[in-house]
Amino acid sequence: MATSDAAVSTVPGVVKPISDEFMEDTGTGLDFGTRADRMPGRLTSNDHFFVRSHSPTPRIDADRWSLRIGGDGVEAPVTFGYDDLWRAFPLVSVTRTIECAGNRRVLFGREHGRRIAGTPWGRGAVSTAEWTGVRLRDLLEAAGVRPDAHDVMPVALDECRARRPMSLDKALADDTLLALAMNGEPLPPDHGYPARVVVSGWLGAASIKWVGAIEVSRAPIQVPWNTEDYVLIGPEHPAHGPVLGTPINALPVTSLVELDWPARLEPRPQLVRGRSFAGEQRIASVAYSIDRGPWREARLTDSGEAGAWTRWDFSWHPEPGEHTISVRATDDTGRTQPAHVPWNRLGYLNNQILDHPVRVTAKPAS
Ligand SMILES: Nc1nc2c(c(=O)[nH]1)N[C@H]1C(S)=C(S)[C@@H](COP(=O)(O)O)O[C@H]1N2
Ligand SMILES: [Mo]
């Protein structure tokens, strides 16, 4: 069947065509999730990678663009042009998952019986790409990092001037990149062209797109994205001065079943597939339970790498009727998914074990 023109629409604010078949529209106009039941491989194609933007995608001319590394934490500021970046440093490629801290927010709201402001994400705010670029460390060393440097903050060129600091340690890590390419193509406009940061294992908001400057600071940096947004706010997260709760950095263990929600299946033997992600850690094992019965081990089908999701599957021959599939992944430090995630005001880090609803009928309902 040919794809109808109606299935692909042009969205103001987003450059790539958004396909209803592969993407979920959150309704904000700028944020589109990747459909869990349409994930053909380990990597998410550039066309289907989820989009989360606070402002419209800026159109940047790489020939007139430059990147400045400065701030009171460097010896001497340096500026690089786009071509310099491709040539001056070793190019590094890493496969890394990006997940928005607000992924599964709608399910979190339902669980707590409360409405939550913010992009109404289902399960689609997570995707994985092979990123190619230069190590942030190499860039920082070119400017000379002072021994008393504390925080590093990429600053963006989009309308909202997105910015979020990270610790110097994280900025110097082997797999913290200034990415120039995604899955073997120059970064697409919506994903940060000409350059974006990839902060492995941290919340998506740390991976600043459309970077125009990198500031190195001797003092801890406080900006809205680490004092009031992307912060766990709630009874268990006391405020500290201007910081309203606990700022989010590394992500917890999460799992995704590659089925629609609710799912429709036929009563025959089949493989159920999914992926689990543990932020900076590696997935060690994945267990599943049908209808809240005994836990069984799923089979891991990727070797498992810190910072990227690991795929898994199990075989199932369901009886007709209503069922649930629950999945609980564990990482190599023993962290696992909880039965319940305590309330936080902005609905972040919902990594609870979900009961995925499945209806099994002889003829799938249309
Ligand atoms: N400049 C800029 N960078 C940004 C954002 C943004 O709005 N502006 N959104 C952040 C958030 S919240 C997420 S989850 C990721 C999403 O990256 P993607 O759109 O490539 O999937 O980008 C981050 N980087
Ligand atoms: Mo995000």
| Token pair of 245 as six digits | 């709760």
Q: Tens of pLDDT along 263-312?
A: 999 999 999 999 999 999 999 999 999 999 999 999 999 989 999 999 99
Q: Determine whether the shortest distance from the Cβ of 49 to ligand 1 is under 6 A.
A: yes
In short, whether 105's Cβ falls inside 6 Å of ligand 1 is no
More confident residue, 7 or 107: 107
Dig out the tokens for 91 from the structure: 């190019």
| Cβ of 53 less than 6 Å from ligand 1 | yes
* 96: pLDDT strictly greater than 70: yes
* 230-255 residue pLDDT tens: 999 999 999 999 999 999 999 999 99
Residue 219: pLDDT above 90?
Answer: yes
pLDDT above 70 (res 19) = yes
Question: How far apart (Å, rounded) are the C-alpha atoms in residues 285 and 276?
Answer: 9
What separation in Å is there between the alpha carbon of 169 and the centre of ligand 2? 22
Question: Which pLDDT does position 1 carry in this prediction?
Answer: 39
Question: Distance, CA 177 to ligand 2 centroid (Å)?
Answer: 18
pLDDT value for 2: 43
Given a cut of 60, whether residue 4 has pLDDT beyond it is: no
Q: Residue 197: beta bridge partners?
A: 178
Q: Which residues pair with 264 in a beta bridge?
A: 359
Task: Name the amino acid, one letter, at 86.
Answer: W
Q: Round to whole Å and give the CA distance between 277 and 267.
A: 29
pLDDT at 363: 76
Is 202 close to ligand 1, i.e. is its CB under 6 Å away? no
Residue 12 has pLDDT above 90, yes or no: no
Please give the distance, rounded to the nearest whole angstrom, from the Cα atom of residue 13 to the centre of ligand 2: 17
In whole angstroms, what is the distance from residue 141 CA to residue 165 CA? 18
Which listed ligand is nearest to 207 at the C-alpha? Answer: 1
Are the beta carbons of 259 and 38 closer than 8 angstroms? no
Q: Ligand 1 in contact with 52 (CB < 6 A)? A: yes
Q: What percent of the chain has pLDDT over 70?
A: 96
Ramachandran area for residue 331 (φ above 0: left; ψ -120 to 50: alpha; else beta)? beta
The pick from 15, 31, 52, 180 for probing ligand 1's pocket by mutation, whose C-beta has the most ligand atoms within 8 angstroms, reads 52
Q: Tell the burial category of 87 from Cβ atoms under 10 Å away from its Cβ (0-12, 13-18, 19+).
A: exposed
CA–CA gap between residue 298 and residue 330 (Å, rounded): 12
Ligand 1 atom 21 nearest Cα? 51
Strands (E), 136-219: 151-156, 166-167, 176-182, 185-186, 196-199, 211-217
Q: How far is the CA of 34 from the centre of ligand 1 (A)?
A: 14
| pLDDT beyond 70 at 49 | yes
Within 10 Å of residue 56's Cβ, how many Cβ atoms?
Answer: 17
For residue 101 and ligand 1, the question of a CB distance below 6 A is answered with no
Positive/negative CA dihedral, 103, 107, 111, 113:
positive
Q: What is the mean pLDDT of the chain?
A: 95
The predicted structure's pLDDT at residue 6: 52
Instruction: Give me the pLDDT at residue 356, please.
Output: 98
Counting atoms of ligand 1 from 1, which one is nearest the CA of 99? 14
Ligand 1 lined by 23 (C-beta under 6 Å):
no
**pLDDT tens by residue, 311-349:** 999 999 999 999 999 999 999 999 999 999 999 999 999
Q: For residue 240, what are the CA distances in angstroms to 38, 246, 273, 332?
A: 42, 9, 42, 31
Which residue lies with its CA nearest to atom 10 of ligand 1? 205
8 Å CB contact between 356 and 324: yes
* pLDDT over 90 percentage in the chain: 95
**Separation of 33 CA from ligand 1 center, angstroms?**
12
Ligand 1 centroid to residue 197 C-alpha, Å: 10
